[in-house]
Amino acid sequence: MTVKTFKGGAHPPERKDRSSGLAVERLREVKQVVVPVNQHFGAPLQALVKVGDIVKRGQKIADADGRMTVPVHSPIAGVVKKIEPRTQSNNNDGPCIIIEALPPPAEGQAAPAPEDLVDFMPPLDVFSCTKEEALARVRAAGIVGMGGAGFPVHVKLAPSKPISYVIANGAECEPFLTIDERTMIERPEDVVEGVAITMKIVSASEGIIAVEENKAHAIPLLEKAIASSPRTRAGMKIRVQLLKTKYPQGGEKMLIAAITGKEVPSGGLPMDVGCVVQNIGSLCAMVDAFKEGKPLIERGLTISGGACAKPVNVIAPIGTPVADIIAAGLAQVDEAALAMIIYGGPMMGVAVPNYQIPVQKNTSGVLLLNAEEAKHYDEETCIRCGRCMRACSCRLSPALLAVAIESEDYKEAEKIGLLDCIECGTCSFVCPAHRHLVQRFRVGKQVLRALKQKEAQNAR
Amino acid sequence: MPAKGILLSSSPHSFTPVSTSRIMLSVIIALIPAVGYGVYLYGFSALALILVSVISAVAAEFVFRKAIKATTTIGDFSAVITGLLLALILPPKTPLWMAALGAIFAIVVAKEFFGGLGTNPFNPALIGRAFLLMSFPAAITTWSMPNGLALAADATSAATPLALMKQGASLADVATYFGASDTGAFLRQLFMGYRSGSLGESSILLILLGGLFLIGIGVVQWIVPVSVLASTFVFAWVFGMNPLFALLTGGVVFGAFFMATDYSTRPLTPAGQALFGIGIGLITVIIRKFGGFPEGVTYSILIMNIITPFLNKIRVKKYGYVPPVKPIKPTKEAGK
């Protein structure tokens, strides 16, 4: 099999061996969940429940009108205790619905009937229903891109341009994280089925499951699942593509460039080059939504890191404070060594002050780093070595971009491509002077957007 | 509030082990063969020249930054490189005080006045040499034959191959002057390095060794040295000079690998680097052919340093580049 890749990138230490061999476990008993109302990229939602309401597992508890909205469901059967702002995994406070699990039935009392506890939708056969019905189901199930951005999947699946390829993103290029790898090993049939469902909805001609070389052991399982899938027997074309292990191979733009040789035009979307890219977790969530009518109320994540004495790949209800996963004994923390907590991967994840923060739809991992892994350096002067220029996967000349931003020349910064930056952090990783490059670009993007908005208002 | 001792910072949270000082140290390592050969050719006086130049450069940086109350930066080893490079491009018998003066000028005026490492527009070592050449033209153009590890007093002054050519000698004459049987043997001799010239520029073999080491470990990219060498070769041939002789004499190879590749003063973009290298080769040949000096590498690199900021404008097309839509000009037909 040919190994494909993109130009640029870097090789941060992978550190996946800590958890790549661990089968996915499940957190069964949850006493309380803290469900953020807004877990998607788009317009904010309204809570549909109030304090004191009894909610079923799978019941919709927040929603709003508008295309860029995705509802949120209760991950457990319980009572709404509070609705208040809490710290979310982006380290900002946001409205959260706090639900306490129903107590087990007292002695002598009958256990409640399952239909009083669970509120799933009826199953739906995506291969016989209409496209509108399928899209409505994807939205109703609350599915977002689970790789990190939280983009509404029903919007992604309703492109205004013809689609040729559906790409399943099994690159998982962030160090430490192994949940997608485990999902491909343990649920290969569902990954293939998810690709087939996506292909059906967007009328794509080819499905490609992209896997990095360090996860090549999942390929025979995926190929077996493809060969035995009723969809491929019915004529759907699905294959596996091997990719070089390199960061940020799992970036949507890099994945598309590596596989199709085409580049998503500046300011455009994958659909502009006939592609839809789906996260492995999102694909499985879609399978559950059609087969069982189950909304996105739980997800798999990796808990790892040098200060994590016992790492784990675990499926937990959305809203579970990570501390509760640890309290249940599924993972162990070495408190004395703990220096840093990251929600997400070490390259793009968010550093947070504690692990009380709940699991969200886009939480692919929680890293508990020791002092060695969390080592940060003082910023030195740029020596103009050009390492960032060669590593930038978007070919943005970070060294020159940083100079433009520091001198507040936003015209030049825009020309170099500030708004095209995907904020992957490769430039900051490779910098021998430890310049805060991507950090400057993040701030610079906001300033530039504000300037452009002002300009547009003045032009009116 | 974060729990005590929990670090918060903006991503990424993982960093390369490569540091500025590690890069600078690798350059010093790459220069060791040339340094060793220079000492072998010209004796302990050469070693003294190198030490004086390096110590002056480091001391100048330390004192200057203390004086302006800036952080001490001698730990990044960049001043060591400047001092080392300066010594290697000076005549072996340069008076020690002169080398010290050149190193101080290079660090204080060419580097620190512009903000220090990474912000200087001109190569500090070359500025140091140009300053000495202008101030003491006689001393900086007095060359000597290699005299091994003998005492300094035994040195016999000699012309450099390029100076002889400038005076109108033929290649065969120059070969005879250096005791080679024919021109082929002379070119081989030049490649190995037994000739008069600057302290560290003579052995092409050892300079290539150091340069290829730097390219191999990724500290230097191939574009600049290759374009300098190719351009010198081609333009020498165009101007009717022996292209191999042009490459093997003077400081072209040393300049291509150790001067033109200076991070601060070469362009950052690949196309900019190629043009930069081509310009250096062209100007070197023009100075040698038509200029007042027999050698032109110092000035050709300094001249190209001037246009580095402009060469940086020639960037690689970004991912997904879409050419701006040009407004359609109304044709004459449509205008009617």
H runs (alpha helix) in B167-312 = 171-177, 183-192, 204-216, 223-238, 243-248, 252-254, 270-290, 297-306, 308-311
Number of alpha carbons in the 13 Å side-chain half-sphere of residue B250? 28
When CB atoms are compared, the residue of A349, A384, A428 closest to B263 is: A384
The Cα B233–Cα B224 span in angstroms is 14
Tokens of A404: 């433009």
pLDDT at B333 over 70: no
Whether A308 contacts A373, CB under 8 Å = no
pLDDT at A311 over 60: yes
Residue B326: per-residue pLDDT: 73
- Domain tally for chain B? 1
Q: Which of A93, A275, A385, A389 to mutate against chain B (most B CBs within 10 Å)?
A: A385
Question: Residue B335: pLDDT band by 50, 70, 90 thresholds?
Answer: very low
pLDDT tens for A132-179 read 999 999 999 999 999 878 999 999 999 999 999 999 999 999 999 999
Q: Do A442 and B10 touch (CB under 8 A)?
A: yes
The Cα B84–Cα B78 span in angstroms is 10
State mean pLDDT over A266-271. 94
pLDDT at A316 over 50: yes
Q: Do A353 and B321 touch (CB under 8 A)?
A: no
Residue A459: per-residue pLDDT: 83
Q: Do A400 and B315 touch (CB under 8 A)?
A: yes
Summary mean pLDDT of chain A: 95
pLDDT tens for B193-206 read 888 899 999 899 99
pLDDT at B336 over 50: no
Q: Do B6 and A430 touch (CB under 8 A)?
A: no
Measured CB to CB, residues of chain B less than 8 Å from chain A are 1-3, 5-16, 18-20, 22-23, 76, 78, 115-119, 219, 221, 263-264, 268-269, 312, 315-322
Distance in Å, alpha carbon of B263 to nearest chain A alpha carbon = 5
A-B Cβ pairs (cutoff 8 Å, strict) = 161
pLDDT tens for B14-63 read 999 999 999 999 999 999 999 999 999 998 889 999 999 999 999 999 99
Confirm whether B331 is domain-assigned: no
Closest CA to A360 of A128, A72, A165: A72
pLDDT tens for A120-130 read 999 999 999 99
CA distances to A72, A330, B41 from B99, rounded to whole Å, are 74, 68, 19
State mean pLDDT over B144-159. 71
Under DSSP, is residue B29 helix (H, G, I), strand (E, B) or coil? Answer: helix
pLDDT tens for A5-37 read 999 999 999 999 999 999 999 998 899 999 999
Residue A354: per-residue pLDDT: 94
Chain B residues near residue A394 by CB distance under 8 angstroms: 318-320
Confirm whether B290 is domain-assigned: yes
Chain A residues near residue B78 by CB distance under 8 angstroms: 383
Concatenated DSSP letters of A163-218: --EEEEEE---SSS--HHHHHHHH-HHHHHHHHHHHHHHHT-SEEEEEEEGGGGGG
When CB atoms are compared, the residue of B6, B22, B221 closest to A341 is: B6
Question: Residue B325: pLDDT band by 50, 70, 90 thresholds?
Answer: confident
Domain range for B114: 20-162+171-311
Chain B residues near residue A442 by CB distance under 8 angstroms: 10
When CB atoms are compared, the residue of B3, B7, B23 closest to A385 is: B23
When CB atoms are compared, the residue of B18, B117, B315 closest to A381 is: B117
Under DSSP, is residue A36 helix (H, G, I), strand (E, B) or coil? Answer: strand
Whether A90 contacts A67, CB under 8 Å = no
What's the CATH number where B188 sits? 1.10.3430
State mean pLDDT over A251-270. 96
Q: Do A434 and B15 touch (CB under 8 A)?
A: yes
Choose the weakest-confidence range: A352-356, B2-6, B118-122, B259-263.
Answer: B2-6
Confirm whether B238 is domain-assigned: yes
Domain with CATH 2.40.50.100 in chain A: 27-117
The Cα A197–Cα A168 span in angstroms is 12
When CB atoms are compared, the residue of A257, A346, A353 closest to B13 is: A346
Q: Do A431 and B16 touch (CB under 8 A)?
A: yes
State mean pLDDT over B151-170. 79
**Over pLDDT 90: what percentage of chain A?**
93
Looking at domain A298-370, its CATH class is alpha beta
pLDDT at B1 over 60: no
Distance in Å, alpha carbon of B100 to nearest chain A alpha carbon = 25
The Cα A218–Cα A336 span in angstroms is 36
When CB atoms are compared, the residue of B14, B116, B316 closest to A347 is: B14
Residue B109: per-residue pLDDT: 97
Confirm whether B12 is domain-assigned: no
State mean pLDDT over A427-431. 97
Question: Residue B332: pLDDT band by 50, 70, 90 thresholds?
Answer: low
Length of chain B: 336
Domain with CATH 3.10.20.600 in chain A: 298-370
State mean pLDDT over A263-292. 96
- Using a 10 angstrom Cβ sphere, with 0-12 exposed, 13-18 middle and 19 or more buried, the burial of residue B47 is middle
Distance in Å, alpha carbon of B9 to nearest chain A alpha carbon = 6
- Return the residue of B nearest to A368 by Cα: B6
Tokens of B287: 């100075």
Chain B residues near residue A342 by CB distance under 8 angstroms: 11, 13
Summary mean pLDDT of chain B: 92
pLDDT at B149 over 70: no
- Return the residue of B nearest to A373 by Cα: B14
Q: Do B20 and A432 touch (CB under 8 A)?
A: yes
Concatenated DSSP letters of A84-148: EEEE-TTSSEEEEEEEEEPPPPPTTSPPPPHHHHB-PPPP--TTTS-HHHHHHHHHHTT-B-TTT
- Return the residue of A nearest to B13 by Cα: A346
Chain B residues near residue A344 by CB distance under 8 angstroms: 11
When CB atoms are compared, the residue of A348, A354, A377 closest to B11 is: A348
| Fold classification of A3-19+123-291 (topology level) | Rossmann fold (3.40.50)
Q: Do A253 and B319 touch (CB under 8 A)?
A: yes
- Full strand arrangement of the beta sheet holding A32-36: A32-36, A93-101, A78-87, A54-55
State mean pLDDT over B225-230. 98
Q: CB under 8 Å to A415, separation ≥6 — which residues?
A: none
When CB atoms are compared, the residue of A263, A346, A394 closest to B12 is: A346
Residue A345: per-residue pLDDT: 96
Is CATH 2.40.50.100 the classification given to domain A27-117? yes
Q: Which of B319, B321, B325 to mutate against chain A (most A CBs within 10 Å)?
A: B319
State mean pLDDT over B208-227. 97
Residue A85 preceded by cis peptide, ω within 30: no
pLDDT at A211 over 90: yes
pLDDT at B266 over 50: yes
Chain A residues near residue B315 by CB distance under 8 angstroms: 397, 400, 416
pLDDT at A428 over 90: yes
pTM tops 0.80, yes or no: yes
